[in-house]
Structure 1
Amino acid sequence: MSGERGFGVDIGGSGIKGAPVDLHKGDLADERFRLPTPEPSTPAAVADVVRQVLDHFAWTGPFGCTFPAVVQHGMVRTAANVDESWIGTDAHKLLATATGRQPLVVNDADAAGVAEVRFGAAKGVQGVVLVSTLGTGIGSALIVDGQLVPNTELGHLELDKHDAESRAADSARERDQLSWKAWAARLSRYFQHVENLFWPDLIVVGGGVSKHADKWLHLVETRTTLVPAALRNSAGIVGAAALAAEHHHQH
């Protein structure tokens, strides 16, 4: 991987955060800088905030950027928690023009997954790793022998005649006022379904609720080992920076 440092930006529904990243340690090389996500979060408005984040650090090199959507070779195909005008936008072109730097835009869960495999809870694990982020929805990253299979969207599998994330995401736990045990039972159903489709060697569970893993993770019944994510809030920034540095090195 070329260079010691990369840069990652994490575009979320409420905030846009960024920081330089130490690509050897897989850690932030400086404090994160955060600006609120503009309202409405149109492509032009968001791109301008991304530029401000890069300018804050006087970063001029290539950068990675997470996005809460399916991103196919830079094209945004869906929109979750951002303005629907993003659908059909060429995010690479947009951000390159707005920032004057070379971007690599990836799905937010994919970026977090790559970070966990390279530097976190799945480091050194061969085979099939599933990283699942539990929050408002369920994000997923599938990584096979270190290679990302992008945009898996496993939160949208059907579970008990429902979209899985509407039953098993952390937001469903809060909405239905479930005990940890009752929520773990739903997660068990979800993860067993995923196991039967992909036969992962390890499942890493991230999202804000992973910091309470001691309350519920042991209650989830799976044949695959389940572990909490290690990088927490910096995973998206770190993974995006690593992917961008690698992409830039190859092209």
Structure 2
Amino acid sequence: MPKQATPEPSPRKKTARETRATKPRTLAIDIGGSGLKALVLDPQGKALDERQRVKTPRPATPKSVLSALEKLIQPLGGFERVSVGFPGVVEEGVTRTAPNLHPDWAGFDLEGALHKLTRRPVRVLNDAGVQGFGVIEGRGVEMVLTLGTGMGCALYVDGKYVPNLELAHHPLQGKKTYEDYVGQAALERVGKKKWNKHVRKVLDQIQPIWNPRKIYVGGGNARLLDFTLPKNTTVTDNVAGLLGGFALWKNEPVQQ
């Protein structure tokens, strides 16, 4: 009897990572007051892997946060560049303030430290600014508010970012700041019902000052909002804080 041919093995199904252009991949990092998150994005800005998250170490010094980030990114795949959202003022990769982390962040070269850690080019921006790049339409005046440990804020004009608008620390009523009203500490102090009233007051306050065409509300506590939002206001997915990291490398070439 003729020998039967051995059937060819079925080709292995390619993973999402393999079926897309592979370079440059962006490691997106979101440093928050309560959590550190990381994700690798493909050259089109789409997630390649599941988001990784760990609690922000305490005390949240640069040394402890960098150590936690090193462990956080180990399970993720390869990448050619790094984008970072940081909860404070950032100037040319150097962090100037970090009210919800630690005083040691004042004047810390985060860009340089992460470049040394990853051996990849790094870009750092305020975290609300990065989140906005993940959701804005790029038309007119758009504003992003993030509700988490503190309150983040970012402003855009025709898609261009206005850096380091720290609205959270501006007085809202008497000596109390915006963050005093809607940060995590306020939520725990006054409860969800009254906290929602505070958020509504903040939204009402900013409307006649900046007259934004669109307001995007994100952050971990945005899911707790239970009132009818103004017509120009939208709640966004918190993963935008990572996806927006792609925009920090806009116009860079894609390699096949």
Q: Which amino acid aligns with 1:167?
A: Y
Pair 173,50 (structure 1): closer, same or farther in 2 beyond 3 Å: closer
Partner residue, 2:129: 110
> In the alignment, is the contact (CA less than 8 A) between 2:214 and 2:233 conserved in 1?
yes
> In the alignment, is the contact (CA less than 8 A) between 1:48 and 1:99 conserved in 2?
no
1:130 to 2:143 alignment: yes
1:60, distance to aligned residue in structure 2 (A): 4.1
1:7, distance to aligned residue in structure 2 (A): 1.8
Where do 5+ consecutive residues of structure 1 fail to align?
118-123
Deviates more, 1:3-12 or 1:131-140: 3-12
Partner residue, 1:11: 31
Q: Which amino acid aligns with 1:107?
A: N
1:140 to 2:159 alignment: no
Partner residue, 2:6: none
Partner residue, 2:164: 151
* Fraction of identical pairs, as percent: 33
Deviations 1:147-199 (A, max 9, x none): 111211112222121211212335423311252xx444433332232222211
Report matched runs for 1:187-206 at 5 Å: 187-206=199-218
1:100, distance to aligned residue in structure 2 (A): 1.4
Where do 5+ consecutive residues of structure 2 fail to align?
1-21
Pair 238,127 (structure 1): closer, same or farther in 2 beyond 3 Å: same
Partner residue, 2:64: 45
1:41, distance to aligned residue in structure 2 (A): 2.9
TM-score calculated relative to the size of structure 1: 0.80
Q: Which amino acid aligns with 1:104?
A: R
| 1:29 alignment partner, one of 38, 48, 51 | 48
SS at match of 1:208: coil
Q: Which amino acid aligns with 1:85?
A: D
Whichever of the two has the greater Rg, that structure is 2
Q: Which amino acid aligns with 1:146?
A: G
> In the alignment, is the contact (CA less than 8 A) between 1:47 and 1:99 conserved in 2?
no
Pair 105,125 (structure 1): closer, same or farther in 2 beyond 3 Å: closer
| 1:165 alignment partner, one of 157, 165, 179 | 179
TM-score calculated relative to the size of structure 2: 0.79
Q: Which amino acid aligns with 1:10?
A: D
How far apart in 1 are the matches of 2:173 and 2:34? 31
SS at match of 2:134: helix
Aligned length: 231
> In the alignment, is the contact (CA less than 8 A) between 1:64 and 1:103 conserved in 2?
yes
Partner residue, 2:13: none
> In the alignment, is the contact (CA less than 8 A) between 2:24 and 2:81 conserved in 1?
no
1:240 to 2:209 alignment: no
> In the alignment, is the contact (CA less than 8 A) between 1:96 and 1:102 conserved in 2?
yes
Partner residue, 2:106: 87
| 1:62 alignment partner, one of 81, 84, 97 | 81
**Relative contact order (alpha carbons < 8 A, sep ≥ 6): 1 or 2 greater?**
1
How far apart in 2 are the matches of 1:107 and 1:226? 21
